[in-house]
Amino acid sequence: MVARRPRIAIVARFAESTSATRYEAIVTARRLAEGVWAAGAEPLTFLAVPGSDWTERLNGIDGVLMPGGADVDPRNYGQDPISDELYGMDMMQDEVDMSLIRHVLLVGLPMLAICRGLQITNVALGGTLTQHMESPHLRHVASVTVDSHAVELGLTDPTLEASCYHHQAIDKLAEGLTVIARAAEGHVEAVKIDSAGWAFGVQWHPEDNYDTERGQLEIFERFISAAS
Protein backbone atom coordinates (compact mmCIF):
# COMPACT_ATOMS: atom_id res chain seq x y z
CA MET A 1 0.00 0.00 0.00
CA VAL A 2 1.41 3.38 -1.05
CA ALA A 3 1.43 5.95 1.75
CA ARG A 4 -0.52 9.07 0.90
CA ARG A 5 1.27 12.36 0.49
CA PRO A 6 0.95 14.74 3.45
CA ARG A 7 -1.74 17.32 2.72
CA ILE A 8 -0.60 20.94 2.90
CA ALA A 9 -3.16 23.75 3.10
CA ILE A 10 -2.17 26.94 1.27
CA VAL A 11 -4.42 29.93 1.85
CA ALA A 12 -5.59 31.28 -1.51
CA ARG A 13 -4.84 34.83 -2.55
CA PHE A 14 -7.36 36.97 -4.42
CA ALA A 15 -6.82 38.10 -8.01
CA GLU A 16 -8.94 40.65 -9.87
CA SER A 17 -8.65 38.51 -13.00
CA THR A 18 -6.56 35.75 -14.55
CA SER A 19 -6.07 34.56 -18.12
CA ALA A 20 -7.98 31.36 -17.31
CA THR A 21 -11.03 32.84 -15.59
CA ARG A 22 -13.80 35.20 -16.68
CA TYR A 23 -14.16 36.70 -13.23
CA GLU A 24 -12.18 37.36 -10.08
CA ALA A 25 -10.10 34.38 -9.02
CA ILE A 26 -8.47 32.73 -6.04
CA VAL A 27 -4.89 31.78 -6.77
CA THR A 28 -1.89 29.85 -5.53
CA ALA A 29 1.45 30.53 -7.18
CA ARG A 30 2.25 27.60 -9.46
CA ARG A 31 5.91 27.54 -8.42
CA LEU A 32 4.87 27.35 -4.78
CA ALA A 33 2.55 24.40 -5.36
CA GLU A 34 5.23 22.69 -7.45
CA GLY A 35 7.79 23.17 -4.68
CA VAL A 36 5.47 21.53 -2.17
CA TRP A 37 4.82 18.67 -4.58
CA ALA A 38 8.55 18.23 -5.32
CA ALA A 39 9.13 17.88 -1.57
CA GLY A 40 6.63 15.02 -1.42
CA ALA A 41 3.35 16.61 -0.36
CA GLU A 42 -0.06 17.41 -1.84
CA PRO A 43 -0.69 21.19 -2.08
CA LEU A 44 -4.33 22.16 -1.46
CA THR A 45 -5.64 25.68 -2.03
CA PHE A 46 -7.95 26.90 0.76
CA LEU A 47 -10.50 29.65 0.25
CA ALA A 48 -10.24 32.51 2.76
CA VAL A 49 -13.57 32.44 4.63
CA PRO A 50 -14.27 34.76 7.59
CA GLY A 51 -15.31 33.08 10.82
CA SER A 52 -13.90 29.70 9.76
CA ASP A 53 -14.02 26.77 12.16
CA TRP A 54 -10.39 25.80 11.65
CA THR A 55 -10.69 22.59 13.63
CA GLU A 56 -13.28 21.41 11.13
CA ARG A 57 -11.67 22.85 8.00
CA LEU A 58 -8.21 21.48 8.78
CA ASN A 59 -9.43 17.96 9.50
CA GLY A 60 -7.14 15.71 7.46
CA ILE A 61 -4.61 18.49 6.87
CA ASP A 62 -1.01 17.79 7.93
CA GLY A 63 0.59 21.22 7.60
CA VAL A 64 -0.18 24.83 6.70
CA LEU A 65 1.79 27.07 4.34
CA MET A 66 1.22 30.82 4.65
CA PRO A 67 2.22 32.15 1.21
CA GLY A 68 3.30 35.49 -0.18
CA GLY A 69 0.78 37.99 -1.43
CA ALA A 70 -0.32 41.61 -1.22
CA ASP A 71 0.46 44.05 1.58
CA VAL A 72 -0.87 43.76 5.12
CA ASP A 73 -3.16 46.67 6.00
CA PRO A 74 -1.24 48.83 8.54
CA ARG A 75 -4.42 49.30 10.55
CA ASN A 76 -3.91 45.71 11.73
CA TYR A 77 -0.89 46.93 13.69
CA GLY A 78 -2.26 50.27 14.86
CA GLN A 79 -0.96 52.53 12.08
CA ASP A 80 -2.58 54.51 9.30
CA PRO A 81 -1.45 53.76 5.76
CA ILE A 82 1.22 56.38 4.98
CA SER A 83 3.03 54.95 1.97
CA ASP A 84 1.92 55.40 -1.64
CA GLU A 85 3.63 52.06 -2.36
CA LEU A 86 1.02 49.99 -0.48
CA TYR A 87 -0.93 47.68 -2.77
CA GLY A 88 -3.63 45.02 -2.80
CA MET A 89 -4.67 45.39 0.83
CA ASP A 90 -7.70 43.34 1.88
CA MET A 91 -8.77 43.43 5.51
CA MET A 92 -10.78 40.22 5.18
CA GLN A 93 -7.74 38.36 3.85
CA ASP A 94 -5.69 39.73 6.74
CA GLU A 95 -8.27 38.67 9.34
CA VAL A 96 -8.54 35.14 7.93
CA ASP A 97 -4.75 34.77 7.75
CA MET A 98 -4.30 35.92 11.34
CA SER A 99 -7.10 33.69 12.62
CA LEU A 100 -5.56 30.67 10.90
CA ILE A 101 -2.05 31.45 12.13
CA ARG A 102 -3.16 31.72 15.75
CA HIS A 103 -5.06 28.43 15.50
CA VAL A 104 -2.18 26.58 13.84
CA LEU A 105 0.35 27.72 16.42
CA LEU A 106 -2.00 26.84 19.26
CA VAL A 107 -2.65 23.28 18.09
CA GLY A 108 0.88 22.68 16.81
CA LEU A 109 0.29 21.95 13.14
CA PRO A 110 3.55 22.36 11.21
CA MET A 111 3.66 25.77 9.52
CA LEU A 112 5.94 27.43 6.98
CA ALA A 113 5.41 31.16 6.41
CA ILE A 114 6.79 32.82 3.28
CA CYS A 115 7.23 36.56 2.59
CA ARG A 116 3.80 38.12 3.36
CA GLY A 117 3.13 34.95 5.33
CA LEU A 118 6.01 35.86 7.66
CA GLN A 119 4.87 39.48 7.85
CA ILE A 120 1.25 38.65 8.73
CA THR A 121 2.49 36.13 11.31
CA ASN A 122 4.50 38.91 12.94
CA VAL A 123 1.41 41.16 12.94
CA ALA A 124 -0.88 38.38 14.22
CA LEU A 125 1.41 37.98 17.24
CA GLY A 126 1.63 41.70 18.02
CA GLY A 127 4.47 42.99 15.86
CA THR A 128 4.61 45.78 13.28
CA LEU A 129 5.97 46.28 9.76
CA THR A 130 7.95 48.86 7.87
CA GLN A 131 5.36 50.03 5.36
CA HIS A 132 7.95 50.67 2.63
CA MET A 133 11.67 49.91 2.75
CA GLU A 134 14.15 52.58 1.67
CA SER A 135 15.74 49.99 -0.61
CA PRO A 136 13.01 47.51 -1.62
CA HIS A 137 14.07 43.95 -2.38
CA LEU A 138 12.22 43.48 -5.66
CA ARG A 139 13.71 40.80 -7.92
CA HIS A 140 16.58 40.73 -5.45
CA VAL A 141 18.84 37.68 -5.04
CA ALA A 142 21.48 37.60 -2.32
CA SER A 143 23.27 35.20 -0.01
CA VAL A 144 21.64 34.72 3.38
CA THR A 145 23.22 32.83 6.28
CA VAL A 146 20.98 31.18 8.87
CA ASP A 147 22.77 31.86 12.16
CA SER A 148 20.87 29.36 14.32
CA HIS A 149 18.38 26.50 13.95
CA ALA A 150 19.73 25.76 10.45
CA VAL A 151 19.53 21.99 11.02
CA GLU A 152 15.99 22.27 12.36
CA LEU A 153 15.13 24.28 9.24
CA GLY A 154 16.49 21.37 7.20
CA LEU A 155 19.63 22.99 5.83
CA THR A 156 22.83 21.06 5.25
CA ASP A 157 24.56 24.38 4.48
CA PRO A 158 23.44 27.43 6.49
CA THR A 159 24.25 29.81 3.60
CA LEU A 160 21.99 29.88 0.57
CA GLU A 161 20.98 32.11 -2.31
CA ALA A 162 17.66 33.73 -1.41
CA SER A 163 15.31 35.11 -4.05
CA CYS A 164 13.34 38.04 -2.64
CA TYR A 165 10.41 40.12 -3.82
CA HIS A 166 9.19 42.46 -1.10
CA HIS A 167 9.05 46.13 -0.23
CA GLN A 168 7.99 45.69 3.40
CA ALA A 169 9.85 44.13 6.32
CA ILE A 170 9.42 43.37 9.99
CA ASP A 171 9.84 46.46 12.16
CA LYS A 172 8.89 45.62 15.75
CA LEU A 173 9.44 41.89 16.26
CA ALA A 174 6.52 40.08 17.88
CA GLU A 175 6.92 38.01 21.01
CA GLY A 176 7.22 34.37 20.03
CA LEU A 177 9.49 35.01 17.05
CA THR A 178 13.24 34.40 17.23
CA VAL A 179 15.38 35.92 14.48
CA ILE A 180 17.63 33.30 12.91
CA ALA A 181 18.81 35.18 9.79
CA ARG A 182 19.19 38.78 8.66
CA ALA A 183 19.85 40.42 5.32
CA ALA A 184 23.04 42.39 4.75
CA GLU A 185 21.01 45.57 5.37
CA GLY A 186 19.97 44.23 8.75
CA HIS A 187 16.29 43.45 8.30
CA VAL A 188 14.81 40.10 9.36
CA GLU A 189 15.11 37.32 6.77
CA ALA A 190 14.08 34.24 8.78
CA VAL A 191 12.55 33.39 12.15
CA LYS A 192 11.76 30.44 14.34
CA ILE A 193 8.17 30.68 15.56
CA ASP A 194 7.14 29.50 19.02
CA SER A 195 4.63 26.69 18.54
CA ALA A 196 3.71 23.27 19.81
CA GLY A 197 4.87 22.03 16.39
CA TRP A 198 7.50 22.83 13.72
CA ALA A 199 7.10 26.46 12.64
CA PHE A 200 9.42 28.78 10.72
CA GLY A 201 9.13 31.85 8.54
CA VAL A 202 11.33 33.18 5.74
CA GLN A 203 11.17 36.59 4.08
CA TRP A 204 12.42 35.24 0.75
CA HIS A 205 10.65 32.96 -1.76
CA PRO A 206 12.11 29.42 -1.60
CA GLU A 207 9.82 28.39 -4.45
CA ASP A 208 11.66 30.68 -6.87
CA ASN A 209 14.82 28.56 -7.04
CA TYR A 210 14.04 25.29 -5.22
CA ASP A 211 15.04 23.35 -8.35
CA THR A 212 18.48 24.98 -8.64
CA GLU A 213 19.36 25.86 -5.02
CA ARG A 214 19.40 22.73 -2.88
CA GLY A 215 18.84 24.56 0.38
CA GLN A 216 15.46 25.88 -0.75
CA LEU A 217 14.16 22.40 -1.49
CA GLU A 218 15.58 21.22 1.85
CA ILE A 219 13.36 23.76 3.62
CA PHE A 220 10.29 22.38 1.87
CA GLU A 221 11.41 18.82 2.59
CA ARG A 222 11.91 19.52 6.29
CA PHE A 223 8.48 21.14 6.49
CA ILE A 224 6.92 18.13 4.77
CA SER A 225 8.83 15.76 7.04
CA ALA A 226 7.35 17.54 10.06
CA ALA A 227 3.91 17.28 8.47
CA SER A 228 4.40 13.54 7.98
Q: What is the pLDDT at residue 1?
A: 63
Instruction: Taking residues 166-182, report their average pLDDT.
Output: 98
> CATH class for domain 7-227?
alpha beta
Instruction: Taking residues 192-212, report their average pLDDT.
Output: 97
pLDDT of 3 higher than 90: no
The percentage of the chain sitting over the pLDDT mark of 90, rounded to a whole number, equals 94
- Tens of pLDDT, residue by residue over 21-41, are 888 999 999 999 999 999 999
pLDDT of 2 higher than 80: no
pLDDT of 115 higher than 80: yes
Active site amino acids: 115, 205, 207
Instruction: Taking residues 101-108, report their average pLDDT.
Output: 98
Q: Phi then psi for 136, rounded to 5 degrees?
A: -60, 150
- Tens of pLDDT, residue by residue over 137-160, are 999 999 999 999 999 999 999 999
Largest CA distance in the chain: 57
Domain residue ranges in the chain: 7-227
Residue with the larger pLDDT of the pair 18 and 170: 170
pLDDT of 195 higher than 80: yes
Q: What is the pLDDT at residue 16?
A: 87
Band (169; pLDDT cuts 50, 70, 90): very high
114 contacts: CB under 8 Å, gap ≥ 6? 32, 65, 66, 67, 68, 201, 202, 204, 205, 206, 207
